[in-house]
Amino acid sequence: MKPLSSPLQQYWQTVVERLPEPLAEESLSAQAKSVLTFSDFVQDSVIAHPEWLTELESQPPQADEWQHYAAWLQEALCN
C-alpha cells in the first residue's frame, strides 16, 4: 500500500490522538489506517465502538452480504 502524503500523515496524527486506548496505532493494519484516515463515519463509529474494528478485521463483510440484511433484521426483531 502506498504511504500517506505529508498532509495525510499530519491528519493521521489527529486521528491517532482521538482513538481509544485499546486501539494502539501499532496494532492497526495498513488497511484499517487508510479507512480511518479517509472515512469520518468509520472513524467516529470505531471511536464509539472500538470492538467493531476487531470484529470487522476478523470477519470482513462479504460482497453479497447485503442480500441477507432483511432476513437478519427480521430474525433479530422476532427474538
Domain boundaries, the chain: 6-78
Q: Which residues contact 33 (CB under 8 A, 6 or more apart)?
A: 12, 25
pLDDT digits (tens, 9 = 90+) for 18-40: 888 878 788 888 888 888 888 99
Q: Which residues contact 48 (CB under 8 A, 6 or more apart)?
A: none
Average model confidence (pLDDT) across the chain = 88
C-alpha 16/C-alpha 44 separation (Å) is: 12
Q: Give the pLDDT band (50/70/90) at residue 58.
A: confident
pLDDT digits (tens, 9 = 90+) for 62-79: 889 999 999 999 999 998
Superfamily in which the 6-78 domain is placed by CATH: Glutamine synthase adenylyltransferase GlnE (1.10.4050.10)
Q: Give the pLDDT band (50/70/90) at residue 1.
A: low
Which single residue is written with the C-alpha cell 479507512? 35
pTM of the model: 0.65
